[in-house]
Structure 1
Amino acid sequence: MAFVDQMLAQLNTGELANSVQLLEKALQFDDPEELFAGAEQLGQAGFSQQAAQIYQHLLDQYPQEDILKVNLAEIKISNDQVDAATDLLAQVSPDSPAYLNALLVGADLYQTLGLYEVSEQKLQQAIHLAPKESVIQFALAELYFNENKFAAALTFYEKLQSQGEKEISGIVISQRLAAVYAGLGQYEEAVQAYQQTPLAFLNADNLYNYASLANKLERNSLTKKVLEQLFQLSPDYAPGYLLAAKLAFKQDQPDKALRFAQTGLSYDPFQVKLYKVGSQAAQKLAEPETAVQLLQMGIKQVSENTALVLSLSSLYLKLGQDQTNLDLLAQFEKQLQDEPQAIWNRGRSELHLDQITAAQTDLLAVYQAYQADPVYLHDLITVLQQGTQDKLPALKAALDKYLKLVPDDYEMDALAQELRGLDED
């Protein structure tokens, strides 16, 4: 047994004590073919340091063997020795039998450096030399995929699939096709690609994306099935619970929606949307205390909590808890100063509490933001009716806009006619 094979066997079993001595003996006594084969196996097993020493030893003896330069350059790239790798690859001429390998390793090098255009040039040279080589097709597909150039990536992934390729370097082709189709907005094709992918090859992220696509297509049964598979594989995958909660809520199953939201929050208490959908489900179940508690919990837990504060404010309005709403908005006044919704909500509570002057000020302040919203205009008209004579122009303007949006509101139409009558008098 060659010394290099003995060393590999010991390294694979974790016996490192004699590896240095065995490497020295391998370099001294093993023949070049044994050393080259052993270096390849060492590299594949992750023992790149020992592999590099062997390649360098062989290169010193056989400087004309370009494949040694290419293999050594590949190791140096993984060790962030970019300059050394570049120098080695530059020594491989276009007429060398190892030139194709050098192009592939060079493409990997430039991709590592973020020089995608140069990497693409290397791969295009390679595909020109070997147009049917699946490894090169796959490398181009992956390059385009990582650059979000999905149409270009699709060409090569489909070609690989048509050639019978199912998996390369641990990447499942149908799985990549699903992601590419999704990126192109071809959701039906993406779902079909996921359906062609064995479940064993789908991780939690894949299953979540699969379920999301099925949900976009309103294939509810498939969405539920994939989510069940997701939770079996990864019970703590919080985004999956958000999708499940939204689907249950859409299907008028607020009890399930609430359970999904609460379960998801037990795994990830920083998911803003889970608090919101959970609160909505609780409201639909006529459980206002639960709805309030969820939003209060989220406000305490999440640093970026403006959306939750606004949701709680709107809920307090719905529950008729106007003073509590004003207290909440006062607590977060600085944070909400540029939020029109907060100012409108405050104005509504002030109106309900007969704080007319304050309500007029707040509701008029957000006129530009909500002048196309009939609910807002109705609030504004209500408060301006209780104002002084100087508010009449604003009242008439609000009425005019409102009636264009809601022409069959006879009460408001009567008010408009009354105001026109005053003008005539």
Structure 2
Amino acid sequence: MSYSEQMLTKLQEDHDWTNAKKLFALALRHDDDDTLFNLGEQLYGLGFTPQAKRIFEKLLRDHPDEDELRTYLADIAVSAGDTDQALALLAAIPKDSPAYVQGLLASADVYQTMGIPEVSEQKLKEAKRLAPDEPVIDFALGELYFTLGRYEEALPEYQALLDQGIETMAEVLIGQRLAATLAGMGNYEEAIAEYQKLPREALDADTTYQLGVLYGETKQYQQAITTLTALQQSDPDYAPLYPALARAQAALNQLPDALATVRIGLGFDEFNSDLFKLGFNYATRLADEDQAVTFAKQELAQDPDDQDMILSLSNLYVKDGDDQANVDLLTAAAANHELDPQMYWNIAKSYERQEKMDQAKENYLLAYPSFRENTDFLLDLIRFFQSMAARPELLAALKQYLKLVPTDLDMQDLYDDLLDEP
């Protein structure tokens, strides 16, 4: 038995690192090159990178034309964060080397790791020209384009692999990736069809979730509920399922179930902004306004600058006549941001109901430029100026309103009467 074999036995069966190190030193001195190369591969696969590196460096010193060793050493350098060393090793592989294509693939990985995908693409395309029938290149191109969101370009690469009967590569299920690519292209029905072709054992949590979401996107809400409920039962900790399941339930007007799903989801992901917003929506629709306010306050406690939630809560306060709460909410918001025009309208209503007419007028006027074409706003403004007996402002508001609704005879009479006043 070679020293390399003895070392692996000590490592894998006996877990005896002390004696394994002694055997490693003996292997370096006495084992033949092929045996050492196999040991290096196995050690690298087991995560013993420094030992694998020593073997490959020794072999490269003895066999400087064995460029495959450079690709291994480049991988090790990348793992250590030394991309410059990796690129230097790969650049030393000449174009006429049998390992040149392998070097191009390794270089593509390095440049992708460095965040330079355009160079990675160039390397892969060169490899494709040199080895057009090599499946690993198709896979590498597909993965690059998929990662970049260039789904139309990824699609033919994955399809080419399937056409060759290759269903798995680098522990990636090609059919699964093809389905995700189609979904990324917006071809939801085709993506569902591909997901449905996958064997049951391939339907892990991520895949099941994606299928459930696609059912929702295609308005197959009951299938979405069935799929996502099954995922919930098998993996309740999979937090992303809860917003998708709640949306599907709400789409079928199963609002109590949707609200229950939101509450369960928050038990697994207590800071999920999406769930707080959905909970607010469903509680409001169920007229459970106390619960809606609770969801809104929880969301704003973690994101005080959530303008959408501030406006939604303000709208609810205005509807319920909770004017002081609305004023407090929007005053605090105004301290940090310019308010949405609807917020000016909302706070104006609350100030008016509190008989704080100067503040109400100020905010109505701030809202006016955005709502001058909105008849509901103009009617509020007319009523407000009428209550204040503010004749010039009332005339201006009526004039603007009648431009939009010239057939409103009551408002026309009011406008005419004001003009006739001395």
Q: TM-score, normalised by structure 2?
A: 0.90
Query: Matched residues in 2 for 1:239 and 1:379: separation?
Result: 43
Question: Which residue number corresponds to residue 173 of structure 1?
Answer: 174
Q: Within 5 Å, which residues of 2 pair with 1:109-128?
A: 109-128=110-129
Do 2:402 and 2:411's aligned partners in 1 also have CA atoms closer than 8 Å? no
Deviations 1:147-184 (A, max 9, x none): 22221111101111111121110111122222222222
1:224-247 CA-partner distances (Å, limit 9, x unpaired): 122123323442333322222222
Q: Retained in 2: the 8 A contact 1:261–1:277?
A: yes
Name the % identity.
Answer: 37
Tell me the distance in 2 between the aligned counterparts of 1:401 and 1:251.
Answer: 42
1:391 aligns with 2:387: no
d(CA) in 1 for partners of 2:358 and 2:86? Answer: 75
Residue 403 of structure 1: aligned partner: 405
1:101 correspondence with 2:102: yes
**Are the equivalent residues in 2 in contact too, given 1:385–1:395 (CA < 8 A)?**
no
Post-superposition CA distance 1:68-99 (Å, at most 9, x none)? 22222222222223233223222222222222
For residue 424 of structure 1, report the CA deviation from its aligned partner. Answer: 7.0
Asked if the contact 2:276/2:299 (under 8 Å) is kept, the reply is yes
Structure 2 match to 1:378: 379
How far did 1:303 drift? Answer: 4.2
Alpha-carbon offset, residue 138 of structure 1: 0.4
Distance 2:12 2:373 in 1: 71
Task: State the one-letter code of the partner of 2:49.
Answer: S
1:16-46 CA distances to partner (integer Å, 9 max, x unpaired)? Answer: 1122211111112211121112222222222
Q: Residues 84-233 of structure 1 correspond to what in structure 2 (within 5 A)?
A: 84-233=85-234
| Structure 1 residues 372 and 240, CA gap change in structure 2 (3 angstroms) | farther
Q: Distance in 1 between matches of 2:199 and 2:336?
A: 49
- Residue 418 of structure 1: CA displacement? 3.5
Q: What 5-or-longer segments of structure 2 have no aligned partner?
A: none
Separation in structure 2 between the aligned mates of residue 421 and residue 71 of structure 1, nearest angstrom: 92
* Structure 1 residue 203: Cα displacement: 4.6
User: For structure 1, which runs of at least 5 residues remain unmatched after alignment?
Assistant: none
CA distance in 2, matches of 1:278, 1:187: 27
Give me the whole-angstrom Cα distance separating, in 2, the residues matched to 1:42 and 1:265.
44
Q: Would the alpha carbon gap of residues 113 and 336 (structure 1) be closer, same or farther in structure 2, given more than 3 Å must change?
A: closer
User: Cα distance 1:329–1:128, how it changes in 2: closer, same or farther (>3 A)?
Assistant: closer
- Give 1:29-48 correspondences, 5 Å limit: 29-48=30-49
| C-alpha distance 272-103 of structure 1, shift in aligned 2 (>3 A) | closer
Distance 1:72 1:298, change over 3 A: closer
How far apart, CA to CA, are the structure 1 residues paired with 2:399 and 2:179?
A: 53
Whether the 8 Å CA contact 1:275–1:298 is kept in 2: the answer is: yes
- RMSD (Å), alpha carbons: 2.5
SS of 1:92 mapped into structure 2: coil
The TM-score normalised by the length of structure 1 is 0.90
Structure 1 residues 117 and 277: CA distance shift in structure 2, 3 A: closer
- What's the CA shift string for 1:291-316, capped at 9, x where partnerless? 22332333334444443333222212
Q: Given the superposition, is the C-alpha separation of residues 77 and 218 from structure 1 closer, same or farther in structure 2, using an over 3 Å criterion?
A: same
Q: Which one-letter code corresponds to 2:411 in the other structure?
A: L
SS in 2 for 1:238: coil
